[in-house]
Structure 1
Amino acid sequence: MITGAHTIVHATDAEAARAFFRDVLGLPYVDANDGWLIFKSPPAELAVHPAGPADNGRAELYLMCDDLDATMAELGAKGVEFTSGVSEARWGLITHLQVPGAGEIGLYEPRHPIAYDLT
């Protein structure tokens, strides 16, 4: 059956984006072939949200953390560019950050029950 999930981030500068995930976020990786890095993702969960016609089928990537302020301070010290302030939603605290050579991804501190540690 299903053994995992493979997330793809499209980047106009794939090398810069790979360096970000490797060097800044410190994600472990394997080199699949000549620098084509595949990263180990943090534990993950999947949510399905209602969508309007323009959003149908669109996927988003959010990294989760236990303490948004502390994580932002740590990443900011490594030069990470945050593209939004922190906002509070009923499901958590959220911000966005720039992946060099790619686009924005979300970062949030969940305030909802989490599913990634279910067995």
Structure 2
Amino acid sequence: MIDYAFVFSGFAVSDIDAARAFYRDTLGLTVTDESMGHLSIELPAGGFVLVYPKDDHVAASYTMLNLEVNDIDAAVDELTGRGVTFERYAGMPHDDRGIIRGIAADQGPDIAWFTDPSGNIISVLQNAG
């Protein structure tokens, strides 16, 4: 059995300064400058995500980071007020805020997606109970 000392995740961005400002100022997360131009985003329940610059960055077509909240309506309203634009995906039943109401339909969490300045997809979601 491998004795892992620590496990963390990471993703790339095209502009580390824009990422720092977005994750710290717009999302309100704790962001620390690390060596080699990397950032560490502290996760609210513990751990961190490493963010690193990549000149030829291409955003993934899937969700890179999920932010679980207690009140999705309040979170979406606050993020919208901070300049975040929520994505609308074709064929998905969004409300006027961009939220898909999965809990009401008993099909998963209420969820809304947006992107960071590098195009990385992020979700804000609220689980039932």
- Compute the TM-score of the two structures, normalised by the length of structure 1: 0.68
- Which residue number in structure 2 is paired with residue 92 of structure 1? 109
Q: SS at 2:112's partner residue?
A: strand
- Which residue number in structure 2 is paired with residue 62 of structure 1? 66
Kindly provide the CA deviation profile for residues 25-60 of structure 1, in whole angstroms up to 9, marking residues without a partner as x. 12123221375321111227xxxxxxxxxxxxx874
| Structure with a larger share of its residues in strand | 2
Counterpart AA for 2:28:
G
Kindly provide the CA deviation profile for residues 64-114 of structure 1, in whole angstroms up to 9, marking residues without a partner as x. 1011110011111111111132112222101101111232111101126xx
- Which residue number in structure 2 is paired with residue 109 of structure 1? 126
Structure 2 segments unaligned to the other structure (5+ residues): 47-61, 89-97
Q: Which has the higher contact order (CA 8 A, sep 6+)?
A: 1
Q: Residues 66 and 123 of structure 2 are in contact (CA less than 8 Å); yes or no, is this contact kept in structure 1?
A: yes
Name the stretch that deviates more: 102-111 or 28-37. Answer: 28-37
- Compute the TM-score of the two structures, normalised by the length of structure 2: 0.64
% identity of equivalent residues: 29
* 1:1-119 matched pairs, under 5 angstroms: 1-2=3-4, 4-33=6-35, 35-43=37-45, 60-84=64-88, 85-89=98-102, 90-111=107-128
Q: Residues 60 and 105 of structure 1 are in contact (CA less than 8 Å); yes or no, is this contact kept in structure 2?
A: yes
Within 1, Cα distance between the matches of 2:40 and 2:111? 26
Structure 1 segments unaligned to the other structure (5+ residues): 45-57, 113-119
Q: Residues 109 and 127 of structure 2 are in contact (CA less than 8 Å); yes or no, is this contact kept in structure 1?
A: yes
Aligned Cα root-mean-square deviation (Å): 2.4
Change (3 A) 1:5 1:91: farther
